[in-house]
Chains A and B, each alone.
Chain A
């Protein structure tokens, strides 16, 4: 015969004195003291953000290469797809294209928004004005050819140094545009030109962060701090701090196949984590999983005093 266990009402059991308020107050004091000691001893990390002028000073060749890539349409952001542009359809889960279906809600035209528009805001530079005019009067295919040719030449130069690239008409105005872009970045005016949107106040760093991510410098700095994506990066933080250890499972999937080698790893990991989260929430209703506690028997330790009681039923 199949038997179903039914849990009795907690209020039917014999009781003992229990001071919930005292327990909470003591817990509050203990946590407050622990927090204060940990904060006083270990402090907290606060490494300054990379500024675009700092990037230009520390890695000028990377800035020039990134600007050339934006103009050629070959950077990560330029080829990203939704929510920034329609250059790609984004990641998929079989027939499910959530990234594409969400649409382009944060439009970013990498060449114009990340390079040309900031340059157009620079006044009093005849060479730049002339280069911008040449660029604007060319066809899209010509623009792409100039920028791609220059990007290839930079990639072939020692350290990607623009000074080591022999001048060529095949580059069109791109060397001037990228050199002026480097100047603008060095001046410290690029952040505002990218994300101010004509406003005095800035709260959105989307374009600046996309530009910075398109370069190699940000990732190089992160990897030097053991924060790369394949170094459990997103759950960690700079220095010897615990970071977000509660994200270990999400980060774990990126370290193993098939996710570590998949073009759709992000969507797959997200889908897997959603399924696992749903399963955790629905544990009470999943046969087998809900019986694990009974099989493991840890409850015998937790309630050992109760189980020792003679005549322990309600």
Chain B
């Protein structure tokens, strides 16, 4: 029998058959981010501004939102109405959400004014926008799940908008049970996946270089790089 060390020495793992799904997945994952760029300890010289901190702040606030939400989930949907500890955890959840959105909006506008979609980074921008919109939906379902006066009034108001475009037939804001499930399960999972994808794309392409650091090329180059496409005469 050949030992693991023996197979490794023979480099069998580097020559997987094409039918080996595990090997193909490993190869694909390995190609996603350039070697050393997943957690690099160096950045291009132009990465030197406070605006870069807001991505990290957004991610940090998201973790605190998830953590405080998990503690609220431990106590159950009505715990925070009857316990001072629960109410404080709810306050942490609320304010971390407010900070999360504040940081995310600054991050978004910062990236807009840096035209951060240049250099094949359009998908990074798009995943960020979808995560932003998805976060609005997640927060909205949180307001509907509070089981207090706010959730009564917000749901009574919101149903008309959702019903008017047919969404309300499936997404019933008057059903706090359904909204709670969306809030603590489906939407956070979607946001989590989007954020992971967004961060991987950032690491894959690196931080966008400054505007005007571009090289120029003939018009034909636009076909190579549709994410840039800023033509000037």
Contacts and interface: CB of A to CB of B under 8 A. Distances in A.
A4 B221 contact: yes
A8 B213 CA distance: 7
Contacts of A296: 113
Contacts of A212: 152, 156
B56 A23 contact: yes
A121 B151 CA distance: 28
B14 interface: no
Contact of B92 (A39, A91, A103): A39
A307 B168 CA distance: 51
Nearest to B65: A35
B39 interface: yes
A239 B88 CA distance: 17
Contact of B87 (A44, A105, A314): A44
A237 B232 CA distance: 48
Contact of B213 (A15, A19, A313): A313
Nearest to B166: A102
A246 interface: yes
Interface string B46-88: 1111010100110111011000100000000000110000011
Contact of A18 (B40, B60, B93, B114): B40
A246 B161 contact: no
Interface in A28-52: 28, 30-32, 34-36, 38-40, 42-50
Nearest to B81: A46
Nearest to B118: A7
A120 interface: no
Nearest to B143: A244
A18 B92 contact: no
Interface residues of A, number: 108
Interface in B194-233: 205-219, 221-222, 224-233
B45 A10 contact: no
Interface in A76-111: 80, 82-83, 90-91, 98-99, 101-103, 105-106
Interface centre among A91, A102, A204, A282 (most CB of B within 10 A): A102
Interface residues of B, number: 114
A125 interface: no
Contact of A244 (B48, B139, B165): B139
A166 interface: no
B182 interface: no
Given A98-B164, A103-B169, 8 more contacts: A3-B217, A4-B221, A11-B206, A13-B209, A13-B213, A15-B43, A28-B63, A284-B118
28 contacts: A3-B219, A3-B231, A5-B214, A5-B230, A6-B228, A7-B208, A13-B45, A15-B44, A18-B41, A20-B56, A46-B80, A46-B90, A98-B165, A99-B163, A102-B163, A102-B169, A204-B177, A206-B172, A218-B152, A221-B153, A234-B154, A237-B143, A241-B94, A284-B118, A284-B122, A284-B125, A285-B122, A307-B210
Interface of B: 34, 37, 39-49, 51, 53, 56-57, 59-61, 63-64, 68, 80-81, 87-88, 90-96, 98-99, 101, 103, 105, 110, 112-115, 117-119, 121-122, 125-126, 129-130, 133, 136, 139-140, 143, 146-158, 160-161, 163-170, 172, 174-178, 205-219, 221-222, 224-233
Interface of A: 1-11, 13-21, 23-24, 27-28, 30-32, 34-36, 38-40, 42-50, 80, 82-83, 90-91, 98-99, 101-103, 105-106, 203-206, 209-210, 212-213, 218, 221-222, 227, 229, 233-234, 237-238, 241-242, 244-247, 264, 266-267, 269-271, 277, 280-285, 287, 290-294, 296, 298-299, 302-303, 305-307, 309, 312-314
